[in-house]
Chains A and B, each alone.
Chain A
Amino acid sequence: MFFIPGFVVSLVTFPGVIVHEAAHLFFCKLFRLAVFDVCFFRVGNLAGYVIHETTDNFRALFFVGIGPFIINTLLCMVFCTAAFLPVWELKIDDPLAYFFYWLGLSIGMHAFPSSVDLTNIWTVAPDLAKKGNVLAIVSLPLVAVLHVLNFARVIWADLGYGIAVGILGPIAIFKTLART
């Protein structure tokens, strides 16, 4: 595996960082959590952050933490779908398509929640799961997988995830459309 400094990756894929933090902010506002500070992008070890109040509401905790995973994945799929055919299947040199593919992959690469967000959920979820909280039960395997993928970032799991969503998603969409 080749090593590229994190800030270089962040610079090249900055739209993904911005979307990730915007997704955190969106869910904070949705669940009416106080937001103390927001940084959408900066050149540094932590490329962006949202500092918000802690909450006992597990739904809020879950969606604020996992929100970027949902939003970034969806946007990655949308933008990559717009560009998938000319770039991958039809091999047409269309600059706009390449721009959208870069945008989609950048967003997809930053879908994984941070370890802090995952730990926050992981700390609370087991007790709630025992009490039958469905969201907590669902969150456990999801958070576990995301934790592993987060560690696997050193072997470009984030890029792999972006590519997988950006290729498999559109293939599934177009194959389904072709059947209709």
Chain B
Amino acid sequence: MREGTCSGCGLTAPIGSFYGISGKLYCEPCSWKEERTAAERGEKLEKISVVDGSVCARCKTRAEATGAADFPICKGVPLCPNCQQQIQNWPYPVWLKASLAGLLILLAVALVHGRKYFHAGRVMYAGERLVEQGKYKEAVPLLKEADGVAPQSDKASLLLAKAALRIGDVVTAQKALQAHDAGHYETSGDSQEVSALWNRATAALEKADKASDLEGQPGKAEEAEALMRQASAEYPEMAQLATAIPYFEAGSAFDRKDYDRFLAISEGIWKAQPDSANAAGQLAGALACKYAVSGDPSFRTRSEEMMGKAQQLSHGDHAAQQSEQEYAERLKYRMDTREIINKQEYDRRFRGGKETK
């Protein structure tokens, strides 16, 4: 390391710490003094840092050790050949490259491993958009997929429950809600909306259940009909409730012994549901009533035809078949005796009071 002497104060120090002004060397404090003096004279001095080329500025290697007098000045500083090479093309460390490669591999693994999440997310967002557009029926299958992958997701299960409740699919909504932390959610706008929907739906279903119970009791058909109407009005999204109303209307008409009305309603149900064994059986019952009160054999013939259709339609459904069998027995009695009695009375007289389904 070369040394120099300050032209101002005579200080001897490494030459790299000096400044050159008008061809003379100055230490830093003296260089400031020279600048101030020149400024007072209205002059501006050219002040340059002195570079000591005998030592590499980075690695401190002495030039004489490499056989050179001075190292070349590169980017304003003296640098040995190794450092020159290094600063011009600083290499990325091996560990950095290895880490980057490792990260990329991990990222690829995460992307492959996360395919099912991406799919679930995609269908969830698509379902969310459909829900926002009020296309609940189309949203349900997509949201079912998302909820299947992530039942603990508030968003997926609330969206599914909401969409399902909006189309009257209470079973799907119940499954989604129960699968999520036993129905517990953080309070949010969505959870409150679903909760309100759920409460409305379950209140309506309770009324519908009660209506079904009442319908089986003698003289309660009108009350049952009124309850079912209330249930349907409270939860119009569930089409089955509205569909059930005519059956309850028919029950009321039967209770009032208004067999013309009973027949008209039953004809309407059959027209609306030509594949339903229940509807066929109901019409057979109404025709049997008409035969019983009028004695017109055409009603009997039609009643027997409809009963045959009911049996055909219930084929393969054990519960429906049992129900049709029970009903057929009563209708035969109704037409053979031309006496109209309800099920309870029939059970009391001929089945030892034992209720049948």
A-side interface residues toward B, CB under 8 Å? 18, 22, 25, 28-29, 32, 34-38, 40, 53, 78-79, 82-83, 85-86, 89-92, 94, 96-97, 99-100, 103, 174-175, 177-179
Contacts and interface: CB of A to CB of B under 8 A. Distances in A.
A22 to B, nearest CB: 6
A172 B57 CA distance: 50
B173 to A, nearest CB: 19
A176 B305 CA distance: 59
B124 interface: yes
B121 A89 contact: yes
B122 interface: yes
B154 interface: yes
Interface SS majority for chain B = helix
Of the four ranges (under 10, 10 to 19, 20 to 34, 35 or more), the interface on chain B belongs to: 35 or more
Contact of B109 (A36, A38, A89, A96): A96
A40 B118 contact: no
Contacts of B99: 18
A177 B117 contact: no
Contact of A34 (B75, B96, B103): B75
A122 B154 CA distance: 47
Given A89-B121, A92-B153, 13 more contacts: A38-B90, A53-B76, A82-B107, A83-B110, A85-B120, A85-B121, A86-B150, A92-B117, A94-B114, A96-B109, A97-B117, A175-B125, A178-B125
Smallest CB-CB A-B distances: 5 pairs: A178-B125, A90-B150, A35-B90, A85-B121, A34-B87
Contact of A91 (B58, B96, B152): B152
Interface string B140-155: 0000001001101111
B88 interface: yes
Contacts of A178: 122, 125-126, 128-129
Given A79-B107, A178-B126, A91 B120 contact: no
B110 A82 contact: yes
B289 interface: no
B146 to A, nearest CB: 8
A38 B58 CA distance: 12
Given A22-B92, A53-B75, A78-B107, A174 B58 contact: no
A85 B152 CA distance: 12
Contacts of B125: 174-175, 177-178
Contacts of A99: 106
Residue of A29, A90, A94 with highest tally of chain B CB at under 10 A: A90
Residue of B106, B110, B156 with highest tally of chain A CB at under 10 A: B110
Interface SS majority for chain A = helix
A25 B93 CA distance: 11
Given A40-B96, A82-B111, A178-B129, A92 B150 contact: yes
Contact of B74 (A25, A34, A83, A174): A34
Interface string B144-182: 001001101111100000000000000000000000000
A57 B286 CA distance: 96
Given A40-B96, A78-B107, A174-B125, A25 B114 contact: no
B89 interface: yes
B113 interface: yes
A145 to B, nearest CB: 29
Nearest to A103: B103
14 contacts: A25-B90, A34-B74, A36-B87, A37-B58, A82-B107, A86-B114, A86-B150, A89-B121, A90-B121, A90-B124, A90-B152, A90-B156, A96-B106, A97-B117
Contact of B150 (A25, A28, A91, A96): A91
A91 B111 CA distance: 17
Contact of A92 (B58, B122, B152): B152
A90 B153 contact: yes
